[in-house]
Structure 1
Amino acid sequence: MEILSDTCRALLERSKRFGPLYGDRLANHLPMTLIALDRMGAPVDSMARAFDANARQLQARDADISPVADGADWLGKGRNAGGLERYFQACARRDGRDAVLRDWLPRLLPGVAASAFHCLIRLAYAIDAGDQDEACAALAYWVMEYVSLDLPPDTVDAAPAALAARLAMAVAGHAPWDGIIIDRMRQAARHPGVAGTAIQPRGLDLRQVAQFALGAYHAREDFTLLHTVTACHAFRLLLPYAGEPGRALRYLWEAVVVATLTVEPSAATPAAAPDLDWQACMAQAARATDAHVVKLCWSAYCEHLAYGDARYLAIAARKLASQSIKRTM
């Protein structure tokens, strides 16, 4: 657990005026971006620029706050973030933050895909940063946006990549997916070639899921696949609170593999990553303002430390390069 800088704490406090969503159910990335920048050692001016760049698109918190007696009553209701946040703050004061996490994480992990994994990611960043208020806000967000894919837990003797390839063939020629990422994931989960099918590898560990997500994104620069990489990092941070690890991991795998099914095949070869070391990569990322660039680079660095796979540096460098190209166009 890291202590946040005074700059980050002040900006997080200012960010509380914004709700967890904006537009058509799009995630507010501002708190996650600020925490990631702080962990990368971003200077004060970079933090301020990132705040301004991300805040301008956000919406004010909903002033309509309903009392909450039991958070479970609000699962998936899509509203009352303020009431739920107050509920979790009261629970944390009464029982302690860790007890609240151990109580709620097993309940929420069937909905690990909620809001395109952003509820999971926001909570993980808050816990890693040691910010209890932000953790309560993230729990509230997860409860209101909770949605499960409801796929069977049946296992099969197959490697993750082989299972994913089989499922991709099963959904080939599907009707067009539509909506935002979580909408497309729910449609894919209901496809006859997926629903009712054994999708769980009999032997599974977190490294396998993380390597599958990394391999998919390394092979194809895709916005949805980016989220599976950052989700694996977030899941690893929250695993100590997740209850039975094997059960929790099954939910992560089902969400990751279903997310890959929503990505259309592409013959395009990603651009080669520039030749950067981690020091240069982190220095560039610490001055970025794009939330997905910042979060991907931070997650890639953390996952590299955990697994030692050189492809994490490649995807971070590639993402930084693609943003540099966009700024010059």
Structure 2
Amino acid sequence: MDDTTHNSPDTSGTLDEALERLHSFGPERDGWLSNHAPMAVEALVRRGQAPGVHRWLDHYRAKLEDMPARFTEVTPDNWREALGDPRRIADWTAYFERETAGRPWREVLAEWWPRLLPGIAAGATHPVIRVGHCVRTLLASGENAPRVAELAHGLGYWAARHQPLPPLAPLAPATGAAAALDAVDRVPDQSGGIRERLDQLTGFPVWPPLPVPDADPARTRPATDPDLARDRLEELVRAATHRYAAYAHGSPVMLVHAATAPNAVLRTLPALPRELWAPSLDAAWAASAAVTAAYTPERPAEHPGAPEGLSPEEVFARAAAHGNDHTIKFTDTALDVGGPTALAAALRSIELIPPEL
């Protein structure tokens, strides 16, 4: 991945202030729409737009709802029955606040990551995306109370909305991530919301393929090799980002998650034990393919490329001025990918998604 724009630890304190503002609110509104603010402000600060964060939050405030009331406490003995119960969002958040207060956050993350991965589609993939933004900050800037609390909120949201995909049949193998995404079948009925669409999934192309012995030693490594898993995950993020430019017209907002969800997993890998990297790739592929199946249009559309001479910083400044949370987060991922095709995809999101500011 080629992150060529400002991407340094926050020394202004803006992100911590923003997180403290946000932690009295719940992760959803209107029953199921996600609160994107913690993710968007992390991206804004990370990309050099900290001075505008509180103004952005002031505008976003109308979309925030208070944290729901507690229902029944989640404990080490009853967590399995509480998994996937959205009534217990506040209970799950409190559980992870207790866990991260008593143990190192990496230890809590490593314990819960494999438990939560099967439900990566939860909340239209927003919980894993929120965790990915949080972990990036913890790794780059170190831990403190607001950042660890943000991890508890992200994990709690994921646990409460945990949603496994239906059983999926393995379809014909694809040779690369781009080909695999192109081979994903659209769900037959695209009239409902994401939960109704995901229920229609029946199978995905087999990707990544098993290594084939040949003269290239990289292709003979075991399928569980962590470094190979990371490389394949980078390939998936790049392919999904590039694909957005031609297919975003099908659903400009929802299709950003085909790239931002696997990128959240990629950002989390350095904080995880290496034995979790390969299953993380599998889950990220399932999430990206699921969003693609649910929202991709029948045919690609013509689109302009990125103007020559436009820098990554300028592209992100346009996304920040545009103000939409999905545009900000997708442009953040496009800058991770780097290159003119990714910048063109980011500009496509600015063009197609309605502005907020």
> TM-score band (shorter)?
0.7 to 0.9
Equivalence for 1:310: 340
Structure 1 pair 114/4, CA: closer, same or farther in 2 (3 Å)? farther
SS in 1 for 2:291: helix
Structure 1 pair 251/151, CA: closer, same or farther in 2 (3 Å)? farther
Number of paired residues? 312
Equivalence for 1:158: 174
Structure 1 pair 87/58, CA: closer, same or farther in 2 (3 Å)? same
Partners of 1:267 and 1:132 in 2: CA distance: 41
Equivalence for 2:43: 36
Equivalence for 1:96: 104
Task: Report the alpha carbon displacement of residue 225 of structure 1 after superposing the two structures with TM.
Answer: 2.0
Structure 1 pair 66/152, CA: closer, same or farther in 2 (3 Å)? same
Q: 1:142 aligns with which of 155, 158, 161?
A: 158
Partners of 1:34 and 1:219 in 2: CA distance: 27
Equivalent AA in structure 1 for residue 69 of structure 2? A
Residue 250 (structure 1) aligned with residue 258 (structure 2): no
Instruction: Answer yes or no: is the 8 Å Cα contact 1:49–1:289 preserved in 2.
Output: no
Equivalence for 2:311: 277
Residue 68 (structure 1) aligned with residue 81 (structure 2): no
Equivalence for 2:243: 216
More moved, 102-111 vs 178-187: 178-187
Partners of 2:49 and 2:180 in 1: CA distance: 41
Task: Report the alpha carbon displacement of residue 318 of structure 1 after superposing the two structures with TM.
Answer: 3.1
Equivalence for 1:25: 32
SS in 2 for 1:56: helix
Residue 232 (structure 1) aligned with residue 262 (structure 2): yes
Q: 1:184 aligns with which of 167, 179, 197?
A: 197
Structure 1 pair 49/271, CA: closer, same or farther in 2 (3 Å)? farther
Equivalence for 1:124: 132
Provide the TM-score with structure 2 as the length reference.
0.78
Equivalence for 1:265: 298
Equivalent AA in structure 2 for residue 258 of structure 1? A
Residue 106 (structure 1) aligned with residue 104 (structure 2): no
Could you report, residue by residue, the CA deviation over 1:61-110 in whole angstroms, capped at 9, with x for unpaired residues?
Answer: 11234311133332111122222112112111222100000001111111
Could you report, residue by residue, the CA deviation over 1:301-322 in whole angstroms, capped at 9, with x for unpaired residues?
Answer: 1232xxxx43122222333345
Task: Report the alpha carbon displacement of residue 272 of structure 1 after superposing the two structures with TM.
Answer: 4.3
Instruction: Answer yes or no: is the 8 Å Cα contact 1:285–1:320 preserved in 2.
Output: yes
Instruction: Answer yes or no: is the 8 Å Cα contact 1:31–1:122 preserved in 2.
Output: yes
Equivalent AA in structure 1 for residue 244 of structure 2? Y
Equivalent AA in structure 2 for residue 185 of structure 1? L
Equivalent AA in structure 1 for residue 74 of structure 2? V
Q: 1:16 aligns with which of 20, 23, 27?
A: 23
In the alignment, structure 2 segments of 5+ residues that lack a partner are 1-7, 139-146, 211-228
Equivalent AA in structure 2 for residue 292 of structure 1? H
Provide the TM-score with structure 1 as the length reference.
0.84
Partners of 1:254 and 1:229 in 2: CA distance: 12
Structure 1 pair 145/294, CA: closer, same or farther in 2 (3 Å)? same
Q: 1:291 aligns with which of 321, 325, 331?
A: 325
Percent of pairs identical after alignment? Answer: 27
Structure 1 pair 43/252, CA: closer, same or farther in 2 (3 Å)? closer
Equivalence for 1:300: 334
SS in 2 for 1:92: helix
Structure 1 pair 42/269, CA: closer, same or farther in 2 (3 Å)? same
Structure 1 pair 285/326, CA: closer, same or farther in 2 (3 Å)? closer
